[in-house]
Structure 1
Amino acid sequence: MTQTIAFIGSGNIGRSLARLAVDAGLDVVMSNSRGPETLADLIAELGDQARAATPAAATEAADLVVVSLPFHAYDKLPPEPLRGKIVIDTMHYFPERDGRIEELDERRTTSSEMLQRHLSGSHVVKALGNMDFLRLYSSARLSGDLERSALPVTGDDAVAKAEVTRFMDTIGYGAVDIGSLADSWRHEAGTPINVLPYVSEPPKGLNQEQANHWMFNAPAAVVSAVRVKELTDQATRTGRVGLFLEDLFPVDS
């Protein structure tokens, strides 16, 4: 697989994945909308295998590009520099943050299909966005480890999905192909596979404040490939769009 991974977006998910890539011996090129100079601290933390660039320059350095932005910024991504590239979409649509998008609220399409439509010359694969950033970094395990978790993958290009699967294996995760970008709603925010399965079950009787604390401090749970398939099969396109902190754990009234 490619030895250099480009990142557009340097938020929590992007940072965790960049750390995993560096730990696995890959080179990373980080970028954001504010300019390479704002990434100096992160690059120093990542070490000699990392450098900063503009989004356009970062994409030139690699065939595999991780996009980790607030979804409302998806149409600011530059289509031409990303033409021909494999784009890993880690983004989720949150109406309260991103503004209402009628196509998504009415479930006529998926956020990943919208990204693919914008990046028509790229090969979009949705992956690596359904764990919280803390456990995404701490739960990575080598192939064969009994505590290695799997994550769902969707995309329209089989070759691109295979390359993303290899990248996931390299940084410490198994992959479960659950279909095309039209199926990507099955691992969007708020679905059964999103976040919670990878968190240890909380104690009974927590109030909301305690539940929120548990969410950010609890040990990780292992999710097998079989369990990924079970949970993504359980997903439905009903209820609210997105994930809400108060929905994470049921609490005593």
Structure 2
Amino acid sequence: MEIGIIGAGNIGSTLAGYLTNLGHQVTIANSRGPESLSEIAAKTGATPVTTQEAAGAKDLVIIAIPDKAIVNLPTDILSASKAIVVDAGNYYPSRDGRNAAIEGGLTDSEWVAQVLGHPVIKAFNNIVAPSLASKAVPAGSPNRIALSVAGNDEREKQMVMELIDKIGFDAIDGGALSESWRQQPGEPAYCQDLDKDALKAALQKADISKRAENLEQADEIARPYL
């Protein structure tokens, strides 16, 4: 596939390495421009490009940037894209500023989809970067870590789940995009390195009445690192 990754932090660069190793044609971009990505390119095999070029990838675009930067993306390109668009980000108020739409009830990714003018799949957000980078194992391995994939298009969801399996993790269907709050910061499924059954249980354990409280607690814990 032709895959563009927007965001060259820990998640974006790790995915670039995995996907290049799987034989995909991978481009990677950040806000500082392709000339700042020579080290990541050498390490991952991905091709540094502009954000506009990564957004124009034919088959898959993965967005792994802070929510506050979503509004700076080339929405003209993304809104017209025929590619699957994956949102791997998370909303942290202390980093991103208060987002009235999210705090009014939208999930992170429902808001992202609105800004982009394009449907998104939520994935790669409920695992810490060190685990993503070091804990991939072959299918069938005991205690294989699982990732949750939420979205409204079943075909696109299945395609992302298959990609996760090839990278080295189990994948489970996290439901519609409106249910993706269950895998957001502060919830039981968030960044816990759970296997398939445990992740399913954690997603179901999430309590919508505690969503705002859980986010505040997660934001407070993460504040020193953001």
- The alignment partner of 1:81 has SS state of helix
1:183 alignment partner in structure 2? 179
Equivalence map 1:226-245=2 (5 Å):
226-237=197-208, 238=210, 239-241=213-215, 243-244=218-219
- How big is the shift at 1:80? 2.8
8 Å contact from structure 1 (residues 105, 241) kept in 2: no
Correspondence for 1:109:
106
- Which stretches in structure 1 are left out of the alignment for 5+ residues? 199-222, 248-253
Bigger fraction of residues in helix: 2
| Identical-pair percentage | 35
Matched with 1:144 is 140
What per-residue deviation string (whole Å, max 9, x for no partner) do you get for residues 221-245 of structure 1? xx22111110001112311425246
Partner in structure 2 of residue 90 of structure 1: 88
- Say how many residue pairs are matched: 216
- Matched-pair contact (CA < 8 Å) for 2:150–2:157: yes
Structure 1 match to 2:33: 35
Q: How does 1:3-14 map to 2 (within 5 A)?
A: 4-14=2-12
Instruction: Measure the CA separation in 2 of the matches of 1:240 and 1:142.
Output: 33
Letter in 1 for 2:114: R
Deviation of 1:34 (Å): 1.2
Alignment of 1:21-32 (within 5 A): 21-32=19-30
Residues of 2 paired with 1:183 and 1:162: CA distance?
Answer: 16
Q: Distance in 1 between matches of 2:19 and 2:41?
A: 13
Larger Rg: 1
SS of alignment partner, residue 76 of structure 2: coil
Is residue 185–residue 214 contact of structure 2 (8 Å, CA) maintained in 1?
no
Runs of 4+ in 1 over 3 A off after TM superposition: 244-247
**Deviation per residue, 1:96-145 (Å, 9 max, x gap):** 11111122224x2111001111222x330001111110111111112222
1:159-174 equivalences in 2 (<5 Å): 159-174=155-170
Instruction: Quote the Cα distance in structure 1 between the aligned partners of 2:148 and 2:30.
Output: 26
CA contact (8 A) 2:102 2:111 kept: no
TM-score normalised by the chain length of structure 1: 0.80
Root mean square deviation of aligned Cα: 1.7
> Deviation of residue 86 (structure 1)?
0.8
Question: Structure 2: any 5+ residue segments left out of the alignment?
Answer: none
Partner amino acid, structure 1, of 2:131:
R
State the distance in 1 between where 2:7 and 2:131 align: 19
The one-letter code matched in structure 2 to 1:117 is Q
Q: Say whether 1:70 aligns with 2:66.
A: yes
Answer whether contact 1:127 1:153 (CA < 8 A) is retained.
yes
